[in-house]
Every structure is written in C-alpha cells, then in structure tokens.
Amino acid sequence: MGKVRLDALPVTGGSYCWGMKDEEFVADFCLVSKRALEEPEYLLFKYHFLLGADWRLCCRRLGMDRGSFFHQLYRIEQKLGRVYRELRPHALFPLDEYFGGTVRTELPESYLNVRQMPLPARAEQRRPLRAPLRKVA
C-alpha cells in the first residue's frame, strides 16, 4: 500500500497538492525505460534490473555469453542515464529534484570530482546547418 504525500505549492500561497510520489516515480522509470530501449535491450534490462537476475541467469535466459552481456549492460546504463537526465519537463535524476527537494543549478563543492552531464542545446539556440555554396560559372 502506497502513501500519499501532501506538498505545499509555493506559488499559490496556501494551496496544497497531493500525490503518490514513490509510485509515480516507479511508473515513470519503467515507462521511460521501455520507450527508450529496443526490445532485446529492454529484455536484458527487465531481467537484470527489474527482476534482479544475476548475469548467469540472464545469459542463460537470453542465450548470450558473459562478455556480450556486460557490454550490452554498460550500453543500456549509458543510454538510460542520459535519457533520465535529459527528460523534460521533469528529469528522473537527480532524485531530490524529482521528489520536490531543492532544485540545484550548480554542484556543491563536495562534488567537484563528479562529472556533470551537459544538457543538450535548446532548439531555439541552435542554428541550421548551411552548406557552403559556390558560384557556378
């Protein structure tokens, strides 16, 4: 049984909003993962991350060797990490921002050794690619 959270809305002054944040996060996590991955990738993701199978069981079930399993696993982690970070309007990472904590624009001093993933440029800021043209004689 999930729990309901009552959050104050700072914009309206005295209004509140309720929701089941944990269940909403799990649903968003699973749906975004399913949409971002292709079918073989999603099977591996489901067996290993959602159902908790170890690499031996996954390799046997999916008919792959250990090296292929781990290479595929690292590609899935990289792909989903980027998708979770760049998701709009509400990214799934970092968790404190998803669950209504403080929204950080910069990393604190203690995280200087952590690489921050750059966000993609907005469509308004990008200019169309124009091929160089030369005059035909």
- Domain range summary for the chain, segments of one domain joined by +: 5-95
Residues β-bridged to residue 5 = 19
Give Cα separations from 96 to 19, 72, 74 (angstroms).
16, 29, 25
Token pair of 38 as six digits? 């292709």
pLDDT at position 66 is 95
Q: List the beta strands (DSSP E) in the chain.
A: 5-8, 16-19
DSSP state of 49: I
* Cis geometry, peptide bond prior to residue 94 (ω within 30 degrees of 0): yes
Work out the average pLDDT over 40-65. Answer: 94
pLDDT at position 53 is 93
pLDDT tops 80 at residue 126: no
pLDDT at position 75 is 94
Give Cα separations from 125 to 31, 88, 106, 121 (angstroms).
29, 17, 21, 7
pLDDT tops 70 at residue 45: yes
pLDDT at position 87 is 81
Q: What is the pLDDT of residues 6-41, one digit of tens each?
A: 666 666 566 776 667 778 888 888 999 999 999 999
Q: What is the pLDDT of residues 64-122, one digit of tens each?
A: 999 999 999 999 999 998 888 888 777 777 666 666 655 555 656 655 665 656 666 66
- Report d(CA 60, CA 120) in Å as an integer: 38
Task: Name residues whose C-beta falls within 8 Å of residue 38's C-beta, 6 or more positions apart in sequence.
Answer: none
CATH fold group of domain 5-95: Arc Repressor Mutant, subunit A (1.10.10)
Work out the average pLDDT over 51-67. Answer: 94
- Tell me the one-letter amino acid at 12: T
What predicted TM-score, i.e. pTM, was given to this entire model?
0.60
pLDDT at position 117 is 60
